[in-house]
Structure 1
Amino acid sequence: MAEERPSLTDRVANGAFLAIMALARALPYERRIPAIGWLFSRVLAPLARWRGRIRDNLALARPDLPEAEIEALVRAVPDNAGRSLAEIYAGEAFTARIHAADPLEGPGLPALEEAFEANRPVILACAHFGNYDAMRAALSGRGWPVGALYRPMNNEAFNRHYVPAMSAIAEPLFPRGRAGLTAMLRFLRGGGWLALGFDQFDREGAELRFFDLPTKTVLTPAELALRYDALVVPIAGIRQPDGLSFRVHVGAPIPRGTPAEMMQALNDDLEMLVRRHMDQWFWVHRRWK
């Protein structure tokens, strides 16, 4: 069966992205990453109407913020998103920096070391915060078996280079869908470590709390952990003030309980992290509906 050709709109958007990245690659790494961040903050965010969504979410979750801080976040959140995408496409220049720094830290790190020695499966509970791929690079740099579930992009032309770029940071990757799910569960049963996001609205999820607001939260990370006796740890790549380096913080393991109790604990942990680094969570998502 012939592969369906991407639409003209998708091909044009993809071509524009590749042209921008090609120009950016002419810059040294230390200038390239902030340059793409600036482009996202000053050009893409207004065009994509991200600024309005950020303001709407902040009005719900942090109505106490002064206007000056809101305005700063409206610019900083897209900047972090742009930097993160540029880092994915930086390839070895990005992963080599992470591997050399070995930035893993936090109260959950000894538990990860024990899980590796025992060949115990691990659920790495992560969010759209800082740079998700800094975490994958840091773990793979130690030779630890980190895999991830991902949602293929709607733009198939973009997806054709996006997936190889992510794969170059760490493998395996599992696309959402039946085949990906089967391979993912086989990996987890064999002692693999699976990175799963939990911070987006899930229509089929349980109604839990985040920033003391009700929101539907996926239960899958906790359910898989209970089914396969996997360790559950919150983990995040926290961008440092220089805008280029990271701390990869491994939180304390989540105690076993009901899936809802475990996911609420993860929501609470993420909320504390976001409150400390408001500019690093992707406030563009429609987390509350």
Structure 2
Amino acid sequence: MTDTPPAYVRPKDIDNRASLWQRIQWRLETIAWDVIYWWPMKLLGPDKASDFGGWVMTKIGPRLSQHKTTVHNLKLAFPDWGEDKINRTALAAWESAGRTAGELPHLPAIDPYTSGRVDVVGVERLDAINASRKGAVFISGHFANWEIMPAAICKRIPHAVMTYRALNNPHIDRRINKLRHDYGTGTAAPKGIGTRELMRALARGAPIALMNDQKFREGVAAPFFGHDAMTAQGPTRLALKYGVPIVPVSTVRTGPARFRVEIHEPFIPEDTGDTEADILRTVKRINDFLEACVRAQPGQWFWQHRRWPKDARREAGVI
């Protein structure tokens, strides 16, 4: 078995469908990425970049179309909250997203084990999984800066494989992918290519990690904050198929470019022989874990995506 992370893999259909004008736009976006965002943030240093990114997004975020989604999601999840608390949490969510953007160019300076900026709780569980060479399925969500968690895993388990959603812009996508590899995070592209890579990884005894908190249309309906949300069943299916534990992981921002990553107690999904019932039971358990993390730090979750279907939002009267 090799401890070398998988090579960069990009779904070719993204690029093959692009028109000439789209390719020109990608180039222009990349120039703007480098000149307006990346290098100015890089010059600030991790703490100031985190603060500045957070401040900027508290000004820009509420003006974006995603702000309405953020507010609607918060009202759906916390129906007993007043407008003031909803708005304050929505603003905190934008600040968290901005801090993440500011911190991205500084990931090498936020090494989970050598920088003094990250407290990793449960390292012994990572070491035990690494020593077992039997694989595991790590699950987490978009908490605080979600780039820190996979690095915390891969620095202790170099042969672990992380899922990765390719960006449309191939030039920026390659930049981010290189940064992740330099940071010590292995990645695998999604949409079929990633699924095969994850299965191969588990078959050879390598752990895998997936984000399980976003809408997945082909998933199963499972309660999340009291409302059914389409949730990916892939982590559970893989854990059952290969007989490996599911390991929940949480990340909390404790200051500018500072975090606590916790590796929670692993559990083996119950296998009663009724596959669909077993999957639904475990998906619910995963959603319960994610919901508890969000409730603990509601301003540090990525509320800006449409997690619940329109019917749930309509029934709750938040549309």
TM-score (norm. length: structure 1): 0.89
- How big is the shift at 1:234? 0.9
Q: Which amino acid aligns with 1:189?
A: A
Find out whether 1:277 has 2:277 as its counterpart. no
Check whether the contact 2:139–2:248 (CA below 8 A) recurs between aligned residues.
yes
Q: Which amino acid aligns with 1:121?
A: G
Check 1:48–1:156 CA distance in 2 against 1; reply closer, same or farther (3 A cut).
farther
- How big is the shift at 1:102? 5.9
Moved more, 263-272 or 136-145: 136-145
Find out whether 1:253 has 2:266 as its counterpart. yes
Check whether the contact 1:99–1:138 (CA below 8 A) recurs between aligned residues.
no
Check 1:102–1:129 CA distance in 2 against 1; reply closer, same or farther (3 A cut).
closer
2:81 maps to 65
Secondary structure of 1:230's counterpart equals: coil
- How big is the shift at 1:160? 2.6
Check whether the contact 1:53–1:284 (CA below 8 A) recurs between aligned residues.
yes
Find out whether 1:84 has 2:68 as its counterpart. no
Find out whether 1:237 has 2:251 as its counterpart. yes
Structure 1: runs of 5+ lacking an equivalent: none
2:53 maps to 36
| CA offsets 1:8-63 (integer angstroms, 9 cap, x no match) | 443333332222221122212211121122222322x2453222111011111112
1:113 maps to 127
Find out whether 1:216 has 2:230 as its counterpart. yes
Secondary structure of 1:103's counterpart equals: strand
Check whether the contact 2:130–2:156 (CA below 8 A) recurs between aligned residues.
no
Counting only pairs closer than 5 Å after superposition, residues 94-173 of structure 1 correspond to structure 2 as 94-95=110-111, 100=116, 103-106=119-122, 110-173=124-187
1:86 and 1:191 map into 2 onto residues whose CA distance is 36
TM-score (norm. length: structure 2): 0.81
1:134 and 1:31 map into 2 onto residues whose CA distance is 18
2:6 maps to none
1:80 and 1:207 map into 2 onto residues whose CA distance is 28
- How big is the shift at 1:225? 0.5
Check 1:119–1:101 CA distance in 2 against 1; reply closer, same or farther (3 A cut).
farther
- How big is the shift at 1:251? 1.9
1:83 and 1:276 map into 2 onto residues whose CA distance is 19
Check whether the contact 2:125–2:263 (CA below 8 A) recurs between aligned residues.
no
- How many residues in Structure 1 have an aligned counterpart in Structure 2? 285
Taking every aligned residue pair, what percent have the same amino acid on both sides?
Answer: 26
Check 1:262–1:14 CA distance in 2 against 1; reply closer, same or farther (3 A cut).
same
- How big is the shift at 1:194? 1.0
- How big is the shift at 1:279? 0.6
Check whether the contact 2:112–2:119 (CA below 8 A) recurs between aligned residues.
no
Q: Which amino acid aligns with 2:307?
A: R
Q: Which amino acid aligns with 1:284?
A: Q
Match of 1:266 among 279, 286, 291: 286
Structure 2: runs of 5+ lacking an equivalent: 1-11, 271-277, 310-319
| CA offsets 1:231-260 (integer angstroms, 9 cap, x no match) | 1011022111x2321111122223422111
- How big is the shift at 1:101? 5.3
2:89 and 2:118 map into 1 onto residues whose CA distance is 29
Find out whether 1:181 has 2:195 as its counterpart. yes
2:43 maps to 26
Secondary structure of 1:89's counterpart equals: helix
Check 1:220–1:143 CA distance in 2 against 1; reply closer, same or farther (3 A cut).
closer
1:78 and 1:142 map into 2 onto residues whose CA distance is 31
RMSD: 2.4
1:12 and 1:188 map into 2 onto residues whose CA distance is 40
2:207 and 2:183 map into 1 onto residues whose CA distance is 15
- How big is the shift at 1:191? 1.9
- How big is the shift at 1:268? 0.4
Check 1:288–1:63 CA distance in 2 against 1; reply closer, same or farther (3 A cut).
same
Check 1:188–1:101 CA distance in 2 against 1; reply closer, same or farther (3 A cut).
farther
Match of 1:16 among 15, 32, 48: 32
Secondary structure of 1:132's counterpart equals: coil
